[in-house]
Structure 1
Amino acid sequence: MAPLKLCANISWLFTELPDFSQRIYAAASAGFQAVEAAWLYDCDLQELQRAREAAGVEVILINTPPGDVKEGDLGLGAVPGREEEFRQGLDLALKYAKALDCKRIHLMAGRVPVGSHRLAVAKEMEAVFVHNLNYAADILSKEGITGLIEPINTRITDPRYFLDSPHQAAAILEKVGKPNIKLQMDVFHWQIMDGNLTQNIHKYFPIIGHVQVAQVPGRNEPDSAGELNSSYLFNLLENLDYQGYIGCEYKPLGSTKEGLGWIKDYCTRSK
């Protein structure tokens, strides 16, 4: 079994450095061959291109723009009445993805509108999401890019996020039915919402297009104290022959570099 490939989420790691381009260099210096990020849209695209090429790393994943953060947006994919803004955001994400040779875009679902009850708007939001995902699938397929949807837990992280469980996501993906729209598995969110990780990973593995890791409940290094056994989970993914990257999307307990010992331990065990 080949060891899993790890990529640094530079929205979470190397935040000691203010600039994303600097974080790309830092990730490469730390041994990462790939990076991912949430939103790079405040950065100069040419500068990011230069950093990626000079550092020799791949950019694995970016998110669609969140919308109006000051007004409480966190993605627009499932938000009724915001379809045109979603398309504009997709265009921007595609521009950055193509320039950075990034082959995955997380199509963020967004939050249940303020003042609305989740159950009352669930069907409408799902219909909007399915419609937007079908649109995105056609656009992205022309560029060889995979769209991803990610459940985010509503118990700790974001109580109003629309997409909050792997089961809900899988049902939506079945309705979309496009091979280039897949499931993004963040084990942090899956554990908090549903647990049962072994069975859920086996069940949904065929539709998983990307994986992210962090410990529960603190969202720190995978080997820090918490509920998850990272060695077991990595071994499970190895046995399933997972070929993609594992995004390291966690909050370092200290400096990023000080917390990277778990990667050396994993690589040693995998030899």
Structure 2
Amino acid sequence: MITRRHAIASSLAAWATAGMAAAPALAAAGRLKQSVSRWCYQDMPLDALCAAAAKIGLQGIDLLQPADYETPRRYGLRCTMGYAADVMTIPNGLNRRENHAAIEQAFRTGIPQAAKAGVPNVIAFSGNRRGMSDAEGAENTIAGLNRLKPIAEDHGVTICVELLNSKRDHPDYMADHTAWGVRVARAVNSPRVKLLYDIYHMQIMEGDLIATIRESLPWIGHFHTGGVPGRHNLDATQEVNWRAVARSIADLNFTGYVAHEFVPQGDPLTALAEAVRICTV
């Protein structure tokens, strides 16, 4: 039986044997800065993922813990988004005022740490509704982010509140529509408080991707990809026209990162290289 770990090991061996020619710097010629999310390659050592990412032409690794911030630098990359407040989780986040003090304390340590390592973005979550109205949750989240924005502004690090789907993967999550996120980001009114627009999640919740991205770009700081359905490869089995979406983002002169956050099927590095090729516009 071929396990995911064996598949990744075989992929690494094949790339090492083939050398740089097997993985040209695909992304280098494109207008988008692309990276890859660490958790999708958990069975691969971080150093190996960084080496492969550098060969493909990616610019960074997404969603690293502070202990790993420096690893991508050895390969000419950077951590493009970090975890800087472990007290905040997807279900337990900024929409409850009783969480604000602990989150603020965590960011007072985590944001300077990210800044020192050259990490441009840190992730944040709204939390689940648990019977709370979206209006109350928005006001609470705005209040929490207003406590955090001076820390982010002082250190040049952007806090990105992630938009997730509540239909399939994260039941009851509050920041499940772009309009809710834009309402919050607009009210906070800081260049260092933005949205993490996850294309996979927003396709599930609302579709209308290109028009929504165009309208909401001033409040978007970061993108994630992932094939719909299933959060797998960006290929012909998926319903999103990824090249059109990527071109639309590039045409808006977006200067942040587009991070690939899908669980690869088949050879993992080949799947990643193909996703990068599609989004190189």
Name the CA distance, whole Å, in 1 between partners of 2:216 and 2:88: 32
Q: Structure 1 66/53 Cα, relative in aligned 2: closer, same or farther at 3 Å?
A: closer
The answer to whether the 8 A contact 1:77-1:110 is kept is: yes
- For residue 137 of structure 2, the aligned residue among 108, 113, 125 is 125
Counterpart of 2:194 (choices 164, 182, 198) is: 182
1:10 and 2:38 are equivalent in the alignment: yes
**Given the superposition, is the C-alpha separation of residues 156 and 264 from structure 1 closer, same or farther in structure 2, using an over 3 Å criterion?**
closer
Is structure 2 residue 118 aligned with structure 1 residue 101?
yes
Task: Judge conservation of contact 2:56–2:273 (CA < 8 Å) in 1.
Answer: no
Moved over 4 A (4+): none
Contact kept, 8 Å, 2:54 with 2:76, in 1: the verdict is yes
1:81 aligns with 2:81: no
Among residues 48, 60, 78, which one is paired with 1:34 in the alignment?
60
Counterpart-to-counterpart distance in 2, 1:23 and 1:84: 36
Letter of the aligned partner of 2:79 in structure 1? V
Percent identical residues: 21
Once the two structures are superposed, residues 66-88 of structure 1 have per-residue CA deviations (whole angstroms, 9 ceiling, x without a partner) of 5387xxx6452222311222113
Q: TM-score scaled by structure 2? A: 0.81
Kept in 2: contact 1:63–1:105 (CA 8 A): yes
Matched, 1:239 2:259: no
Q: Relative to total residues, which structure has the larger helix share, 1 or 2?
A: 2
Long gaps (5+) in structure 1 = none
Q: Distance in 2 between matches of 1:77 and 1:129?
A: 5
Matching residue's letter, 1:182? K
- Residue number among 157, 174, 178 corresponding to 1:145 in the alignment: 157
Distance 1:79 1:157 in 2: 21
Q: Distance in 2 between matches of 1:21 and 1:110?
A: 32
Report the AA paired with residue 170 of structure 1: V
Report the TM-score, using the length of structure 1 for normalisation.
0.83
Q: Would you say the 8 A contact 1:215–1:224 is kept in 2?
A: no
Residues 158 and 219 of structure 1: CA distance in aligned 2, closer, same or farther (over 3 Å):
same
- Determine if contact 2:111/2:151 at 8 Å carries over to the other structure: no
Q: How many residues align?
A: 253
Gaps in structure 2 of 5+ consecutive residues = 1-28
- Verify the 8 A CA contact 2:196 2:223 in the aligned structure 1: yes
Q: 1:206 aligns with which of 211, 218, 229?
A: 218
